[in-house]
Structure 1
């Protein structure tokens, strides 16, 4: 007799054996990503006395992390979670401590700081994409996986908000370099707890197959084409969301609103995203993920374009909240489509390409809107940022060859005893 599938709720996700321990450990490690940027910026500005140097070093740190993320993901897929992620976390934590020590000594050349930051960024462990890959192996069906990805996305939003608050509490009683040491502690402790969880053992190394392409992010030409839609949507969402920050600042400046107004609008975006993510995970969608993805991208684009027409702060908050409702669902669905497109043993790389696309899109969006806002009226800038997301909705979705009718992520991989791969 087959075991009945648990009711697809958030509680059912967390009741899966080892899920709570594994998820909590991963979140502890990922909290480091919410603390490290502010801690590094504060440490560098106090050490060098130059915002230009601090900004350059921070850009180097983030740039190497983003550019090399597909290669780190490839190491996880090929060598397994424990053998690949553990050394990354230890190196990353050690290099953050080295940066903290360098920042304690004013006068250290910017080139030395940039070199240490580049090495640290290169070793950043891919805890987000590996946790999503573990979710995909751990859960028995796509409905539960949708809930897990939504829960994961909302938790990540909260980490990015709470991380800077934690750094603020630390620097109130200690020098900024202590924030870097805290970031190192979080990532090492969280990663060690994560990789030693029984659920982490489900993520096995990939078997090298004949014709396996050497590209770091895909398991073949067919899979590469199947990843185009989720990667493009993730990148365009990143562009649009990052544009909102500067556009809201410009909106407040034009109307003589204070910084508090900016904070309220950006908080509305985060709240909308969190609510949208929870609702998306709770809905039992009848349409396939590839069909839903363009809808979420288009919804984000339309709401952002409407935000540019807001006559006052209240309507701007409402429009931005509505835009936020589509952010987490768009990203969560991108990760789901990427997972469906991934060949066995390539899950971490598939998810990492989406994550890389979001980060790259956010960087590009911030730079582009900075140029546009000085040359075009604000409503046009809002419309352009929304158009980027809307255009992504036009990217056709293609299945990986042979992926049609693919069973759930756990049932397709069996243990030697014949039982499902769940622990």
Structure 2
């Protein structure tokens, strides 16, 4: 099943290198926050550093993806990764001891976030070129999504182990090393060099967002739900005097997502991808709505795990739809827009539900969070499906890239 994906020539080598680089994204957030707080003694500065870094990384993602489509991964990713790693190295150096000025950390975080290499979308575009068989491509995307979920769980754990006996800046330095080594090995893989470049089709570039409006809108709703869930779980556990259990409940969300992703990749779906994405979104909304009825922590963990069952399948399906909707030379940008929608929705969901917590019962807040994916799914069902873009014939020996 999944072995067939990894047995594809160069697949394991390329995927492994991409995962090594992407592990940096699992370690960098916590490392930056801890390092900024340790050197300045201010949680406000640490929060500002993280907010600036995250905003620059998320909002500029489509632009960086466009560079990859335009110039190819080797010419675009290499300077991005080395510049990003160098900036993180400077952050590690200035935060190694107390006394770094907050304004300097904010400026460095802004520059580093702007240079974040789009390894995830690029790898997904490489998958689409390596695996012209749609069934195998679905499995590859599912495997990719599950692996990414595990990276974001294991990354903070790795940082936690590191900072037990070393400055938090070591985690920042580790993040720099991971992305530099992983990206260099990734772009050296033969398939990554065989890309379909974007070319000068400005009109087609302008249509990217229009063609992928459905998956972008739905994943925005999914992101809102996920961001809200993180804060609501913490509030729920805190209200019961067990704030320490929040991490385990959120781990159930990740576990559910991993299981759902693996099952999704193993099933040969007969339902069209657009309809499947809408149904998955409704399922996620229903599971999150059920969390509003949870009487205790165990019931909440079970409900959140059910929410997770729909997360990876929904995101995988969204990436597949975006990949098929655009010209081959624009696939990195298409994937980046979906990725940006999830991350932006997550930030918005956390901020939005933060305004509700404390003013409304948590059950009402959970129900409100469930309306985001529900409304996104309902809104997209009444929209006319866009005509698919013409797709050039694929060759099993070449590869396109995505963020």
Q: TM-score range by the shorter chain?
A: over 0.9
Q: Is the 8 A contact 2:191 2:397 kept in 1?
A: no
Aligned: 1:68 with 2:60? yes
Please give the per-residue CA displacement for 1:40-83, whole angstroms capped at 9, x wherever unaligned. Answer: 11111110000001110111111111111111001000000100
Distance 1:311 1:50, change over 3 A: same
Can you list the C-alpha shifts for 1:244-271, whole angstroms capped at 9, x where unaligned?
Answer: 1211122223333x13432232111111
- What is the aligned counterpart of 1:412 among 381, 386, 393? 393
The structural deviation recorded for 1:181 is 0.9
1:289 equivalent to 2:270? Answer no
Task: Report if aligned partners of 1:240, 1:389 keep a CA contact under 8 Å in 2.
Answer: yes
Which residues in structure 2 correspond to 1:45-64 (within 5 Å)? 45-64=37-56
1:232 pairs with 217, 225, 236, which one? 217
2:387 counterpart of 1:401? yes
Matches within 5 A, 1:60-139: 60-139=52-131
Tell me if structure 2 keeps the 8 A contact 1:226–1:398. Answer: no
What is residue 259 of structure 2 aligned with on the other side? 275
Q: Which runs of 5+ in 1 are unaligned?
A: 1-8
2:66 and 2:132 map into 1 onto residues whose CA distance is 25
Q: 1:263, 1:309 → 2: CA distance? A: 20
Q: Conserved in 2, the CA contact under 8 Å of 1:29 and 1:187? A: yes
Match of 1:244 among 211, 215, 229: 229
Count of matched residue positions in the alignment of Structure 1 and Structure 2: 398
Where do 1:315-354 residues align within 5 Å? Answer: 315-354=299-338
Give the match for residue 139 of structure 2: 147
Structure with the bigger RCO (C-alpha within 8 Å, sep 6+) is 2
TM-score, length-scaled by structure 2: 0.95
Q: Confirm or deny: 8 A CA contact 1:225 1:398 kept in the other structure.
A: no
Q: Is this contact kept in 1: 2:130–2:398, CA < 8 A?
A: yes
Superposition pairs of residues 379-398 of structure 1, within 5 angstroms: 379-394=363-378, 395-396=380-381, 398=384
Residue 42 (structure 1) aligned to one of 25, 34, 38: 34
Q: CA deviation at 1:116?
A: 0.9
Relative to total residues, which structure has the larger helix share, 1 or 2? 2
Check conservation: 2:37, 2:43, Cα contact below 8 A: yes
Task: Supply the distance in 1 between the matched residues of 2:399 and 2:24 (Cα, whole angstroms).
Answer: 29
How much does 1:18 deviate? Answer: 0.2
User: d(CA) in 1 for partners of 2:89 and 2:16?
Assistant: 24
Deviation at 1:234, TM superposition (A): 1.2
2 CA distance for matches of 1:191 and 1:82?
A: 9
Note if contact 1:81-1:204 (Cα within 8 Å) is conserved in structure 2.
Answer: no
Structure-2 change in CA distance of 1:35 and 1:109 (3 Å): same
1:259–1:207 CA distance, 2 compared to 1 (3 A):
same
1:19-44 alpha-carbon deviations (Å, 9 max, x no partner): 00000000000000000111111111
Pairing of 1:174-213 with structure 2 (within 5 A): 174-209=166-201, 212-213=202-203
Cα pair distance change 1:253/1:174, threshold 3 Å: closer
**Superposed CA RMSD:** 1.7
Work out the CA distance in 2 between the residues paired with 1:399 and 1:142.
20
What is the CA distance between 1:421 and its match in structure 2? 3.4
Residues 219 and 342 in structure 1, CA contact (< 8 A), matched pair in contact too: no
- Aligned-residue offset at 1:402: 4.5
Contact 1:303/1:322 (8 A) holds in 2: yes
How far does residue 224 in structure 1 lie from its aligned partner after superposition? 2.8
Q: Among residues 240, 261, 270, which one is paired with 1:255 in the alignment? A: 240
2:282 to 298, 303, 315: 298
Question: Displacement, 1:142?
Answer: 1.1
Q: Look up the SS of the partner of 1:207 in the other structure.
A: coil
**In the alignment, what sits opposite 1:6?**
none
The CA distance in 2 between the partners of 1:420 and 1:204, in whole Å, is 12
* Structure 2 residue 3 is the aligned partner of structure 1 residue 11: yes
